[in-house]
Structure 1
């Protein structure tokens, strides 16, 4: 039976989640309804339980987490079913875009065949499945001919995000659970995705949107729920909760999110009198180029200098080669030509051939922070290892330094004794930043380090980062689509397009015209009837 408009596609009743060995529940009796034809958003600080709630909507949970309550998908209680029966119960009815899209992309299958196979859940016949796959890619902002023969690792982070969205759309599911769908997307694509979500809802889908992007929520959602420590603290129509004229009775957590959004970047500008770039021990890239085995150029040739204390933004649309170039600086991707220098020292092209001191010189904070941690070890010793192994610090001193840096970024010590799986995406993102900072590098490369952060945590990072870079005169290469953050932290900018540097200057001088506004305009929503 197909739900009628406004009939609940999803009804969560008293959902609680408990992690093994934890004193406090991850979710505590949360109720939520997603009617057909609507977008329901969930916001809240990092670690508030958004991702856990999104998984619970699908009758799923990460390892070591127990769910209680009822998760009704079009009337079927997923949690009442045996775990092995739940995937079949939601197949073709609910689809999920996770916070880390690479976790749902098959690394050994090309994009076209993988999507066409998924399309079989809702479409019959080879031709119909291919049409569905092409349509899903187009809706997600990708071209069939461009990506159909590529493997996921051959796509940028933003392209992987859109491919994962296409994988969710291609099944024809009526319920879409989207966890941070705009992270890794440039402003133009984020705006287009907002319009797509709204259009899907207006054609009868139900969307559960988990996001830190309050502008996206205002532009697309009908209703918003605010979580804090796993509890629902605010719930109502978007204008009543996130609007400028909303009543003052909102919960403190909601007010904190809005206050941090308004003041993003305040006080975060580096002091140019004390952070004047120096010469000598800076990092330089000379003619760095990266090619596929086929010979196709992915990035370059690019030459850039990063003097001590400099602050540079690397901008460009998704798939323009920013991450490829940044990984080549760190030795994580082997350039086909060119050379990276730290002062007079030529750094080997591959990181496994660099000495500890050479690895320390360029530290790269991954766009997908979860992949950069060992899953079986608590986070704190992994953070301390950087100072111990790359700088020769004793264990106690290395641990103390990691704790102090983590505290500056708003991470409590208790969190750091957990394994990575028990941290939220935003908490892991900050942990990855801590680990790179305690190396005291000559160049810190930050690749979308604010993409998983709520407004409060984001402001904390932007305010703290200049001071954390100052002791070692660390240069910053900041890769981001978060333009307020870019403006707050950097002085100079480089624009990439098709793997090449096309423009240099101040941030506002190099911005593409369609990036000028970083929010999804409210008036892009279709008229509601």
Structure 2
């Protein structure tokens, strides 16, 4: 079949997907197109089918999902080909950035070598490969010298996201399918990415953007499709659907997304900031980090020394550009990264530096919710028993009681029991992120470390989490360390804030002192 430059680069007349044993389809006769030099964005609540759609348009699917319909890439119907022939048909034409970057990053290859290896698909000699890798990293907001010798696990979540984006860009594909590309990025980097995507489109690249980041969609997209329960319920030019012309959106789902965004942006309806926590009854109570330094390259270094206390009921935000050491510090508290110097104490007692050396009561004391939630679950087991295991193993609850607690906590975050009985592969990124939060809460810890727990959530789900989290923490006076680039959520959830830059604590105080009106973090390109 010949393909004219006037034809859509990606043409999906109708596409459906159904999981084995499911009552309703994951995608129900979805139609869309992407032209060269244009950006089509797909928005919708968590679980609406965006990730399934991103795979399906490339003729791919998760295990147990069957596709039907038509998906034409440069005139070739991928679904008409045998599954083993589809990767070859996509090669050089399309690149996919998944929502969970760890699934495409090679854990045993250094970042520089992996990128130049991908660049070999379109560049014959070593010099041009390296230049292509450097350009792709720069376009994604990373510096070659900073990351080329690191392995993916030595990067922060935001850096992994940008490395995965660079992996897609370096191939020079004509079509980019990007699933939540700003997840884990600070606002400055997210804004820069929006400009870069618009520039790529202006240079002739076609982009299918799957995102809950409505500001990004407004900045980059030409056309918007609204997805709900696997169906296309609204579509049109971006200004008509999400812009100033969209004062009375045509569909309820669009209205809900815009209303939740407006509430989150102004603080109205996003959950009032909790009252200041009562002073700790004794200065040594709670969790405290003293003189923490991390010099090795298992992540972004902490030049420190960092000393912070988290008394019962305290609400602290940890802020800073991507790569400033926020995740490294959170991992030190939980015993997932051993510090080069310093200690972590619980009620005055020093905790072992590594979590595998902490007994159950001490493992329970600090719970860390990973930004990359998919990696935190066993893929072959349903989610519900994995959640209940926390209460069983760390609090010695009987299985029925532990399961009931899990169902109740999940319901508060908008997750019903039927969804919890699925395996992780059948949940969206936003649903898994909330499940990871539920599992940590079931330990009833002294300190809950939340690392970008709203990054994969649509506006409606984010608002629900912000409203429910204070109530879920209150009974045990659990302290909260909220690591986030989500400034509206920071203002709604926390009282105190700490600002990290280049591995150092540079400012601390109340949220209003650390976050003056209009504050935005400066982008960090040369991380570490």
- TM class, shorter-length: over 0.9
TM-score, reference length from structure 2: 0.94
Q: Could you tell me whether the CA contact under 8 Å between 2:154 and 2:298 is conserved in 1?
A: no
Task: Show CA shifts across 1:306-352 (max 9, x none).
Answer: 01111100011111111011001001111122111110221111111
Q: Map Cα deviations across residues 446-477 of structure 1 (whole Å, 9 max, x no partner).
A: 00000000111000000011111100001100
Matched, 1:439 2:443: yes
Whether the 8 Å CA contact 2:320–2:521 is kept in 1: the answer is: no
Q: Measured at CA, do residues 191 and 350 of structure 1 come closer, stay the same or move farther in structure 2, by a change above 3 Å?
A: same
Q: Kindly tell me: are residues 451 and 273 of structure 1, through their superposed partners in 2, closer, same or farther at Cα, counting changes over 3 Å?
A: closer
**In the alignment, is residue 193 of structure 1 matched against residue 193 of structure 2?**
yes
Give the one of 492, 495, 507 matched to 2:496: 492
> For residue 107 of structure 2, what is the aligned residue in structure 1?
107
1:38-88 per-position Cα deviation (integer Å, ceiling 9, x unaligned): 110000011100000000121111111111111111111111111111111
Q: 2:251 matched to 1:248?
A: no
Judging changes above 3 Å, is the alpha-carbon distance between structure 1 residues 77 and 2 closer, same or farther for their aligned structure 2 residues?
closer
Task: Tell me the CA shift for residue 263 of structure 1.
Answer: 1.1
Q: In 1, Cα distance between the equivalents of 2:2 and 2:512? A: 49
In structure 2, the residue matched to 1:211 is 211
User: How has the CA–CA distance of structure 1 residues 267 and 123 changed in structure 2, closer, same or farther, with 3 Å as cutoff?
Assistant: closer
More off after superposition, 150-159 vs 228-237: 150-159
Deviating more after overlay: 113-122 vs 170-179: 113-122
- Output the CA distance in 2 between the equivalents of 1:139 and 1:344: 47
Quote the offset at 1:116 in angstroms. Answer: 1.1
Q: Which of 459, 462, 466 in structure 2 is aligned with 1:458?
A: 462
Partner of 2:409, secondary structure, is helix
CA distance in 2, matches of 1:54, 1:374: 23
CA–CA separation in structure 2 for the residues paired with 1:299 and 1:250: 52
List alignment gaps of at least 5 residues for structure 1.
Answer: 519-529
Q: How does 1:33-432 map to 2 (within 5 A)?
A: 33-246=33-246, 248=248, 250-264=250-264, 265=267, 266=269, 268-272=271-275, 277-279=280-282, 280-292=284-296, 297-298=301-302, 300-432=304-436
Q: Give distance in 1, aligned partners of 2:464 and 2:298.
A: 44
- Paired residues, number: 518
Q: CA deviation at 1:17?
A: 0.5
TM-score by length of 1: 0.94
1:278 deviation in Å? 4.5
Query: 2:153, 2:298 within 8 Å by CA — same for their partners in 1?
Result: no
Please state how far the C-alpha of 1:437 moved relative to its aligned partner.
0.8
User: 1:271 & 1:145 partners in 2: Cα distance?
Assistant: 43
Give the C-alpha shift of residue 509 in structure 1: 3.2
Give the Cα separation in 1 of the matches to 2:502 and 2:140.
20
Q: Secondary structure at the match of 1:432?
A: helix
- Could you say which residue in structure 2 is the equivalent of 1:521? none
Question: Secondary structure in 2 aligned to 1:37?
Answer: coil
**Corresponding residue SS for 1:194:** helix
CA distance, structure 2, for counterparts of residue 89 and residue 389 of structure 1: 48
Instruction: Evaluate the alpha carbon distance shift between residue 172 and residue 293 of structure 1 in structure 2; reply closer, same or farther with a 3 A threshold.
Output: closer
Cα offsets for 1:274-327 (capped at 9, x unmatched): 655544531100111222169994453211000111110001111111101100
- Kindly indicate whether the alpha-carbon contact (under 8 Å) linking 1:313 and 1:478 is maintained by their aligned counterparts in 2: yes
* 2:28 counterpart residue number: 28
Q: Distance in 2 between matches of 1:115 and 1:513?
A: 40
Check conservation: 2:70, 2:77, Cα contact below 8 A.
yes
Matched-pair contact (CA < 8 Å) for 2:300–2:503: no
User: How far apart are the structure 1 equivalents of 2:199 and 2:229?
Assistant: 32
Conserved? CA contact 1:290–1:336, under 8 Å: yes
Paired residues of 1:281 and 1:442 also in contact (CA < 8 A): no
Paired with 1:19 and 1:488, the residues of 2 have a C-alpha distance of 38
Q: Which moved more, 1:388-397 or 1:99-108?
A: 388-397
1:313–1:493 CA contact under 8 A, matched in 2: yes
